Structure 1
């Protein structure tokens, strides 16, 4: 069980990540298993002069709600949540499920809920958008799902949240300096990853755990805890290659582990029929198919297939992949590529999906600049010094 003595410090990390200030209305959401921590966040908001509002329900309630609701019900926009989204200044969500595995039984209903929630998500994550933060958590059930001891999960999640922001800022600035003026990024690893993306002219985004005025000025209003990456939205019509992801979690349910994923993309577009997995391949392909259908219905195009993000992990505490994307994508020495939505941080694609696929932590990154010169910035998972 997470030591409650660290709750006040963690709560202030949360507020620093979304820049809470006097007068802010902050909506705080999570599971009832986190009630004490959610309340600590609320108290911290009040001490900064803000107005906290907390919503926390049990894992059992969320399961029973999915059982009770019909698909048609879930497709309707949640009116109360829309009102909250419009009224709030900032949104905090702490991992809401103590045991996410039950969601694997509700694939069709979760697809419907994603469709119904989309207008609300636009208010939060679209333009101008709201300040937001998603924070991870650790429970016995989650540890069992990810196949690790609870103390390991706590170290990755809570320990990863506790890294000094100054260190993350330094690492982010190092990578951003290396990527400045870059046209192409070429990533390889010993497991079959070999792809090339175009990031020319795209905004570089540091995830260092603090919402700075500079981030707000360019519309970068959200983040995660644990923090620790630099990410960019590549040019959506360019980029080809293969990504090998040792393990991930189903993006639709967040309740099924998928292992040995090999993705192929061309001209910035995922090729679903060429994507494979060693374990739960049918789940991988079915989720992509469902998200494509939602996007075709909404936008008239399969936007879920578009390349959305190139990220470089930089958190020194997070040292192993378990399938929890929130921590996996921060592993030092790893690279991740996402497909789907990218308009929240400098891209041009709107989608119901944003699914990250993380390489093993021994990636090599070569950058090609506008003048044609090239430079290795990471070798076998180790950051290199800049000349």
Structure 2
């Protein structure tokens, strides 16, 4: 693997500080090193993409639907759980049997034993969790999607670096508006022209 550019290293250092200082308020890779410098004990786990995909396609469903004992033990002793999103290449949906495709997004489809067990332990132990979406921007995925990799990467990292307290405040103000009834019309200088109806749904 070629050495990371100075720009990439600086981005990762800035992202690590953003995650620890702003998002998680932790006072005690670059991310692991920033954690270590603050006196945090670190456990790094890696999900190999080829193994992940083969498990989705072939592994017994029961083995994927339960939270393994070693993960239970680690989670019960964890204060902060930080994970990077992947894979680094587009998911080959055509290779995954239709009835197993929901396993790809089991983290987001919470009606499964794996996530239920994870949430129960995390809630009981007060685990703070954070997913890093910037890692979705990879050269392979950009090429497959027809995107400019550098531009996409900058956008994804910029999104991770925003002041999420300010974003939350804006979201609270918007929630009061979109929880009403009426028609919303959104336009931008880039050509967006989008209309939708509000129906007093809780936000």
Q: TM-score, normalised by structure 2?
A: 0.71
Residue 126 of structure 1 and its aligned partner are, at CA, apart by: 4.5
**Structure 1 residue 143 corresponds to structure 2 residue 142:** yes
Greater per-residue helix proportion: 2
In the other structure, the counterpart of 2:129 is 132
Match 1:69 to one of 48, 59, 62? 59
Residue 54 of structure 1 and its aligned partner are, at CA, apart by: 0.7
In the other structure, the counterpart of 1:222 is none
What is the aligned length? 181
User: 8 Å contact 2:67–2:118 — kept in the other structure?
Assistant: no
Q: Residues 46-105 of structure 1, C-alpha deviation per residue, up to 9 Å, x if partnerless?
A: 111111111123322222333441223323332222222222111101113111322562
User: 8 Å contact 1:188–1:195 — kept in the other structure?
Assistant: yes
5+ residue gaps in structure 1? 23-38, 199-233, 235-309, 311-387
2:81 is paired with a residue whose SS is: strand
Match 2:30 to one of 32, 40, 50? 40
2:199 is paired with a residue whose SS is: strand
User: 8 Å contact 2:76–2:122 — kept in the other structure?
Assistant: no
Match 1:195 to one of 195, 198, 203? 198
Residue 125 of structure 1 and its aligned partner are, at CA, apart by: 6.0
5+ residue gaps in structure 2? 107-111, 186-192
Cα 1:126–1:169 change in 2 (3 A) is closer
C-alpha separation between the residues in 1 aligned to 2:178 and 2:93?
41
Cα 1:175–1:42 change in 2 (3 A) is closer
Cα 1:126–1:171 change in 2 (3 A) is closer
Cα 1:10–1:124 change in 2 (3 A) is farther
Match 1:14 to one of 16, 19, 43? 19
Question: Following superposition of structure 1 onto structure 2, how do residues 65-214 of structure 1 map, counting pairs within 5 Å?
Answer: 65-103=55-93, 105-111=96-102, 114=106, 115-123=112-120, 126=123, 129-136=126-133, 137=135, 138-163=137-162, 165=163, 169-170=165-166, 172-173=168-169, 176=172, 184=180, 186=182, 188-189=184-185, 191-198=194-201
Q: TM-score, normalised by structure 1?
A: 0.40
CA RMSD of aligned residues (A): 3.2
C-alpha separation between the residues in 2 aligned to 1:9 and 1:93?
17
| More relative contact order, 1 or 2 (CA 8 Å, 6+ apart) | 2
Residue 195 of structure 1 and its aligned partner are, at CA, apart by: 1.9
